[in-house]
Amino acid sequence: MSVSPSHVHSPADNDMLANCAVHSRTEILHLLRSIHNRKLLVNLDLPESRQIVVTSVIAIDERNNALILDSARGDALNHELMSGKDAEFITQLDGVSISFSTGHVTLCEHEKMPALRIAIPKSLIRLQRREHFRVQLPIVNSVKCVVPSINLDDPEPITAYIVDISCGGVAIAERGGRIGGGTGRILTGCRLLLPENKTVTTSLEVRNSAQIRLQNGAFQTRLGCKFVDLPNDMATMLQRFVMNIERARRTSL
């Protein structure tokens, strides 16, 4: 899960965020170049809105102190981005959350195509939850999470796919809208269908929720969940899976 400097935190959280703040322009540019070169997806989280724009960094203009992002798909989203409110830039780089307040977002043109322009930040938050290393999973050959139906009139289980996973929790996405977006719920009897016919069965506590508009215009529900009372044998299986994914990623670099 990402942690944003604009959210409300306890004093202990604020101390942690202060320790994770990056102020060096050289280091900030290095991180932004890594995000750009790896073509990582970036969320622009709009305040007081359930909309999250999925975009990517397409250019870094140091001379004009600008970060150029792919434009939002749809006039309504672009209009909301131009509302004058700050958005929150959030992405994951090697299991580390990178976030900062964007300031105003403006429209521009890049290589004769519409794009979004924000200022290169003076500081950003780089935060890794070391106790629960999180890895992203590919959409191709995705790992599924089967959630028991929560509607008596629609008894079929709900199939979602896993966006990222750690030994402490999981982010899942589902396009049918059957899971719903409420937080604080406990989803019991969920099954994570890992490779090699291995299944982790656990309850999930929904900690955060968002409706995300994809680049093709479709919407999906994305839930950040915490494992509840995960059995030891399941935790061991899950830890081995996370470590194997990370080992394979490092080998491919």
Q: How far apart are CA 4 and CA 154, in angstroms?
A: 37
Check whether 7 has a pLDDT greater than 50. Answer: no
Check whether 131 has a pLDDT greater than 60. Answer: no
The residue among 100 and 4 whose pLDDT is bigger is 100
Q: How far apart are CA 153 and CA 136, in angstroms?
A: 34
Residue with tokens 């979602």: 160
**32-41, 132-141, 171-180, 181-190, range with the lowest pLDDT:** 132-141
Check whether 130 has a pLDDT greater than 70. Answer: no
What are the tokens at 37? 């070169």
What are the distances in angstroms from CA 221 to CA 138, 162, 181, 238? 17, 12, 7, 24
> Side chain identity at 118, as an amino acid letter?
I
Across the chain, mean pLDDT equals: 81
- DSSP per position, 8-43: ---HHHHHHHHHHEE--HHHHHHHHHHHHHTT--EE
Paired with 212 in beta bridges are: 52, 220
pLDDT in tens, 47-82: 655 566 788 999 999 999 999 999 876 666 666 677
Phi, psi of 240 (to 5 degrees): -65, -40
Average pLDDT value for residue range 148-160 = 89
Check whether 244 has a pLDDT greater than 70. Answer: yes
Q: What percent of the chain has pLDDT over 70?
A: 78
226-234 contacts, C-beta under 8 A, 24 or more apart: 226/168, 226/169, 227/168, 227/169, 227/170, 227/202, 227/203, 228/186, 228/202, 228/203, 228/204, 229/202, 229/203, 230/200, 230/202, 231/202, 234/200, 234/201, 234/202
Check whether 135 has a pLDDT greater than 90. Answer: no
Q: What percent of the chain has pLDDT over 90?
A: 33
pLDDT in tens, 71-126: 876 666 666 677 666 788 888 787 677 889 888 888 889 998 989 999 999 999 88
pLDDT at 45: 74
Q: How confident is the model at residue 145 (pLDDT cuts 50, 70, 90)?
A: very high
Domains of the chain: 11-127 (2.30.110.10), 135-252 (2.40.10.220)
pLDDT in tens, 202-224: 999 999 888 887 777 777 888 99
